[in-house]
Amino acid sequence: MGTEGANFLVIAGRYRLEAKLGHGGMGVVWRATDQLLGRGVAVKALPLDETFSAEEARWQRERTLREARAVVQLRHPNIIVVHDVIEHDERPYMVMELIDGGSLADRLAANGPVDAAEAARIGGDLLSALHTAHAARVLHRDIKPANVLIESGTGRVVLTDFGIAQVAGATTLTESGSFVGSPEYTAPERMTGVRTGPECDLWSVGALLCAALSGESPFRRDSLGGTVHAVVIDEIRPPAQAGPLLPVVRGLLERDPERRLGAVEAERMLRAFLETGRTPPRPAPEREYTPTQRDLPLRRSPAPERSRSGGLMAPVRSGRGVLTAALLVAVMVGAGLSAAVLSTDWGGRDGRTTAGTSAPGTPGGSASGTAGSSAPGTPVSGSATTAAPAPTAALPSAPSGYRVAEDPAGFALAVPDGFTREPQGERVFYLSSGETFRLGIKVTDPQPGGPLGVMRRAAAKGPETNPGYRDGRVTSVTHRGQPAAFREFTWDGFSAAEGARHTYDVCWEEDGRLYDVWISGPIGKARETKEYFDVAVDTFTVP
């Protein structure tokens, strides 16, 4: 048992607990005095699952102590120093250095967001710390502003609670449905239970950079279901304040962990910004994304199984088994996810490319080399649209709120109610009222280099054809076993009054023809734009 002295609890006969500094899911932290060495320390009481049997509790304590001792070996100026690991009254404790200063969360709450230079400094120091920790096979798994301390006077960045989530042996989503960790900073592959590795920490740094620059994580929502949906499925929209560091932020917030920007390269880019005021472009990922669950994103998946209550059921594997269907239903339904979106988006690399991601919606342009032509809705003279191949398939069905457009150009697809047809030479547009959304289709003969070559040439011309062209990305995938390519980008739009727009485009070859489907919409309505795009691509048929 601990001893009482001057109303203070002394544990292990040495550490006098004097004042509670904070508490949370990962334990309680005390300001304490090491009476042997006469110095101030911080002592964290690590949590144990009180529902465990005696044998399970013993196993958990042993694992906690073993892994905590691994954290003690970490030595880096931006990682909090762990002095000791002890067990007292059958509970593990970590004894750490005491930092004179508040957390980044405290700083943001008191003073608001930081500028790009300060965010780059903080991010660079965290990435350096993570590189050291990951080399020692230690993960953090709960990186967030509250776990980043800023030392008073020196400005030293200190990552605290390092390894605590790992030490505690906690999974992200438990079998009972409770959440352990910080959802708005948790990587999608960990959220769904697919994997947990160093890349998860790097995703968290990307979310933290956004929070430092804007005041909150880009994945913050009003409910757990909404947050999970934002992390796993929604299109990722970094805040405008992230502009100076956007290559790093986007690189760290790659949903495919194998394409995510590494710690060393991300730190190098942030240090370059601090030195030059400019962030260099990220290097090309070592591999192109290859869909594994199905040919993404153009063929509709089988309808999800329904629970007895009518909710959608899509079991997700985790480290401890299959997540309960009820949990997934709560997450998806709470986020307002429809069956159509679930079937087209779930399991993709990221929310942008699971059902086709990217591109021309430029001033009326398609990836097939016409991105510089006049905007949709502008009268254009030219030849008739391309003749259709011989009928090969039945007409698609349209979701609620859509209608099937059997186009004279020889194809059919579902378009939102109220969209009107506007042919322009080789291209056909379906436009919303006021041309807020511009859906385009082009059918041509195959082009040199195939779909990927077409997209790359269009991307190279992006700055010429699209004012303010930025964040362009081309990805190679397959559709129905045939070569396909996705592209997306942001640009300044047709006019200053209209504002910035985001474009999605997919191009593929099928039956000796090259098909190109794209859409552009206001950057503030990216989710709606993406839904229209997904439905158009998913229902596209050559009757």
Which pair of tokens denotes residue 299?
Answer: 């063929």
Residues 114 and 223 in one domain: yes
**Phi, psi (rounded to 5 degrees) for 93:** -135, 145
- Does a structural domain hold residue 55? yes
Nearest to 277 by CA among 269, 289, 267: 269
CB of 528 within 8 A of CB of 521? yes
- How high is the pLDDT of residue 339? 29
Listed residue (476, 474, 477, 542) closest to 512, CA to CA: 542
Check residue 164 and give its pLDDT: 57
Whether 305 and 426 map to the same domain: the answer is no
Question: Quick check: is 152 in a domain?
Answer: yes
Residue that is last in its domain, among 97, 120, 149: 97
**Beta strand ranges found along 270-358 (DSSP E):** 305-306, 312-313, 317-318, 321-322
**62 and 108: one domain?**
no
Same domain for 143 and 287?
yes
Helix axes 198-214, 116-135, angle to 10 degrees: 170
Structure tokens given for 377: 């809705």
Residue 45, strand partner residues: 28, 93
Indicate if 274 and 423 belong to the same structural domain. no
| 386 residue type, one letter | T
CB 210 within 8 A of CB 244: no
Query: Do residue 142 and residue 280 come from a single domain?
Result: yes
> pLDDT value at position 95?
92
β-pair partners for 84? 95
Domain-embedded: residue 386: no
Any idea what the CATH number is for the domain that residue 47 is in?
Answer: 3.30.200.20
Q: How do beta strands 513-522 and 501-510 pair?
A: antiparallel
Q: Is residue 529 part of a domain?
A: yes
Q: Tell me what pLDDT residue 324 has.
A: 35
DSSP E strands in 80-199: the ranges are: 82-88, 91-97, 148-150, 157-159
Domain boundary among 68, 97, 126: 97
User: Is 381 contained in some domain?
Assistant: no
- Which residues are 23's β-sheet partners? 28
Q: What is the pLDDT of residue 26?
A: 62
Are 240 and 129 in a shared domain? yes
- Pair 181, 321 in one domain: yes
Rounded Cα gap, residues 171 and 208, in angstroms: 21
Domain boundary among the residues 54, 73, 97 is at 97
Long-range CB contact pairs, 431-434, < 8 A, 24+: 431/376, 431/377
Strands (DSSP E) along 347-500, which ranges? 402-407, 411-416, 420-424, 427-431, 438-444, 470-479, 482-491
Residue ranges of the chain with per-residue pLDDT less than 70: 1-7, 24-26, 63, 67, 162-181, 284-393, 480, 496-497
pLDDT for res 510:
87
Q: Is residue 336 domain-shared with residue 462, that is, in the same domain?
A: no
Asked whether residue 347 falls in the same domain as residue 441, the answer is: no
CATH code assigned at 459: 3.40.1000.10
- 206 and 269, same domain (yes or no): yes
Q: Is residue 363 part of a domain?
A: no
| Residue 359, in any domain of the structure | no
Question: Would you say residue 384 lies in a domain?
Answer: no
Q: In which domain, by residue range, is 85 found?
A: 3-97
Which structure tokens are listed for 108? 């943001």
- Greatest C-alpha distance within the chain: 93
d(CA 261, CA 266): 6
Q: Give the number of domains in the chain.
A: 3
495 and 438, same structural domain? yes
Q: Interior CA angle at 431 toward 426 and 434, to 5°?
A: 135
d(CA 274, CA 116): 9
CATH number of the domain at 155, please. Answer: 1.10.510.10
3-state helix, strand, coil in the chain (%, to 5): 30, 25, 45
